[in-house]
Amino acid sequence: MQNFDAIVIGAGAAGLFCAGVAGQRGLRVLVLDHSEKIAEKIRISGGGRANFTNRDLDPHAPNKHFISANPNFCRSALSRYTPADFIALLQRHGVAFHEKHKGQLFCDRSAEDLIQMLLHECEAGGVQRWQPCGVKAVRVDGDGVYELDTDQGTVRSRSVVVATGGLSIPKIGATDFGYRLARQFGLRLVEPRPGLVPLTFDGDGWLPYAGLSGLALPVRIETGDKKGRMAFNEDLLFTHRGLSGPAVLQISSYWHDNSPIRLNLAPDADLPASLARAKATSRKLIANELAGLVPSRLADAWVQQDADWQRPVAEASDKALARLAERLSRWEITPTGTEGYKKAEVTLGGVDTRDLSSQTLESKQPGLYFIGEVVDVTGWLGGYNFQWAWASAHACAQALPSP
Ligand SMILES: Cc1cc2nc3c(=O)[nH]c(=O)nc-3n(C[C@H](O)[C@H](O)[C@H](O)COP(=O)(O)OP(=O)(O)OC[C@H]3O[C@@H](n4cnc5c(N)ncnc54)[C@H](O)[C@@H]3O)c2cc1C
């Protein structure tokens, strides 16, 4: 039977990084993954260029960009391993990157550069990597030593790091392994649900908008009530089943079943003033006037909803124009659901942070650690989830006991 100082289950973002850092500290590390192809989520992320961190991340105010039953939990790891630390690592490896909007950093060439960098870090730490290799059982003996029955035999270690991620995109290897293991050792879970996910709208209520599929525009989107309102200014995308685009992905992580979302479809326009001016000066149809304020496809579809809007603007009543302005700037609609894990970028919820150390990511079960997305810490769209993967992995790797 082979012995290791640490066994990392899951060779994704958090697992590979943790294994490399721990290996370079001199630990004998095994990282294993049940998939033939490791790090698939890195590979497909950010449109193939991996939005690997965000310069705007404020580790001292984690609740700004992270969702968790305890948003302060991630503060320790995030402040000890920052975006600047990860950028320095990329620079050491000569990986070229650029900033898109809102502090988001992407690889210039390909996400593959990031994966190769993580694999080189593992090599530099002498890490053993087994894949595809599933774990059939995990048990701990009276001395606190773990035994893992794997597809390649039984292995032993005092430290086991669970980095198996969340449930999103099952077809590239996502499983509930981490949650099951947490339960096996009596740890609590915050109910998982899909996050950063398109919202769906079934039934007749959606019919007026079904023809807008493919249309994108900047909006302000919000959900929640006075106690917990959340809003984003981002791009919206109409799809054939509902709404997507960064605006909707962001708000989906804050949206709860049966509650409405509100959209301002012309956030940069003063609609009442523009329509009043048009009424006084223009001979055009309302739809044509509107097309100067929102995309013309949207303007055409929108006026179909009310007979009073299908006429020249000069002939419209003040009331009808006020209603039009109100409805475009405060469009309230209740999603019937989400596209689920098959389209979600992340999983909200996970291993309850009350059962984890924020310093080391060790659980109440000594020697058992949880890092990355399997933990109840979820970031905004924009590189925050990878930064949590790097930071939690680093905190754990530093804390793993050496022999
Ligand atoms: C389409 C898409 C795009 C994304 N884009 C971005 C982005 O641009 N920026 C960003 O910050 N975040 C992005 N994310 C989110 C980001 O990919 C994840 O938050 C991050 O990969 C989580 O890292 P992790 O190591 O915890 O899990 P993962 O990277 O998912 O790794 C988990 C690993 O565990 C393995 N595994 C699972 N079950 C088992 C098992 N039973 N036994 C053995 N191994 C197992 C998996 O095969 C996988 O290799 C995106 C996600 C998706 C789906």
CATH number for the domain harbouring residue 288: 2.40.30.10
44 and 134 co-located in one domain: yes
The tally of domains found in the chain comes to 2
The angle subtended at Cα 116 by Cα 155 and Cα 78, nearest 5°, is 80
- What CATH number corresponds to the domain at position 160? 3.50.50.60
The residue nearest atom 27 of ligand 1, judged by CA position, is 165
22 and 77 in a single domain? The answer is yes
207 has a pLDDT exceeding 90: no
CA of 345 to the centre of ligand 1 (A): 9
pLDDT beyond 80 at 87 = yes
Q: Phi and psi dihedrals of 97, rounded to 5?
A: -150, 170
Q: What is the dihedral of CA 342, 346, 351, 354, to 10 degrees?
A: -150
Q: How many CB atoms lie within 10 A of CB 93?
A: 13
Q: Are residues 172 and 211 in the same domain?
A: no
317 and 352, same domain (yes or no): no
Question: How many angstroms does the Cα of residue 44 sit away from the middle of ligand 1?
Answer: 10
Domain ends where: 316, 339, 362?
339
Please say which residue of 294, 309, 339 terminates a domain.
339
Cβ–Cβ under 8 Å, residues 328 and 283: no
Contact 362, 193 (CB under 8 A): no
Which helix or strand (DSSP H or E) is residue 76 part of?
Answer: helix 75-80
> At a CB cut-off of 8 Å and minimum separation 6, what does 403 contact?
5, 27, 28
Cα–Cα distance, 86 to 50 (Å, whole number): 13
pLDDT band at 225; cut points 50, 70, 90? confident
Q: Which helix (H) or strand (E) holds 123?
A: helix 111-124
Longest dimension (CA), the chain: 86
Candidate from 30, 37, 41 with most ligand 1 atoms within 8 A of CB, to mutate: 41
Give, for ligand 1, the residue of 18, 52, 345, 376 to mutate: max count of ligand atoms closer than 8 Å to Cβ. Answer: 345
Same-domain pairing of 334 and 372:
no
Task: List the structure tokens of 381.
Answer: 């769209």
Q: Tell whether the model's pLDDT for residue 61 goes beyond 80.
A: yes
Is the CB of 386 inside a 6 Å radius of any atom of ligand 1? yes
Residue 203 has pLDDT above 80, yes or no: no
Same domain, 266 and 169: no
Same domain, 325 and 217: yes
To the nearest 10°, report the CA torsion of 347, 6, 399, 21: -80
**pLDDT higher than threshold 80 for residue 226:** no
Give percent of the chain above pLDDT 90: 92
Digit-coded pLDDT (tens) for 11-38: 999 999 999 999 999 999 999 999 999 8
Nearest protein Cα to ligand 1, atom 22: 373
Whether the CB-CB separation of 117 and 101 falls below 8 Å is answered with no
Question: Same domain, yes or no, for 230 and 98?
Answer: no
Percent of the chain with pLDDT over 70: 100
**Which of 292, 317, 339 marks a domain boundary?**
339
Supply the pLDDT for residue 85: 98
Per the structure, the complete domain to which residue 118 belongs is given by: 2-194+343-399
CA nearest ligand 1 atom 13, residue: 45
In this prediction, residues 176-191 reach a mean pLDDT of 98
Q: Is residue 101 scored above 90 in pLDDT?
A: no
- 155-167, pLDDT tens digit by residue? 999 999 999 999 9
Please give the number of the atom of ligand 1 that sits closest to the Cα of 39. Answer: 49
Q: In sequence order, what are the residues at sequence separation of 6 or more whose Cβ sits closer than 8 angstroms to the Cβ of residue 388?
A: 66, 74, 77, 78, 372, 373, 377, 378, 379
Q: How far apart are CA 176 and CA 168, in angstroms?
A: 10
**Which backbone phi and psi does 254 adopt, to 5 degrees?**
-110, -5
Rg (CA), the chain: 25
Q: Does residue 300 sit in the same domain as residue 203? A: yes
User: Could you tell me if 114 and 52 are in contact, meaning their C-beta atoms sit under 8 angstroms apart?
Assistant: yes
Q: What would the mean pLDDT of 107-111 be, rounded to a whole number? A: 97
Query: What pLDDT does 297 receive?
Result: 96
- Same domain for 66 and 9: yes
Q: What is the mean pLDDT of residues 241-246?
A: 95
Residue of 167, 385, 387, 396 to test ligand 1 pocket, by largest number of atoms within 8 Å of CB: 385
* 351, 315: one domain: no
Q: In terms of domains, do 211 and 255 share one?
A: yes
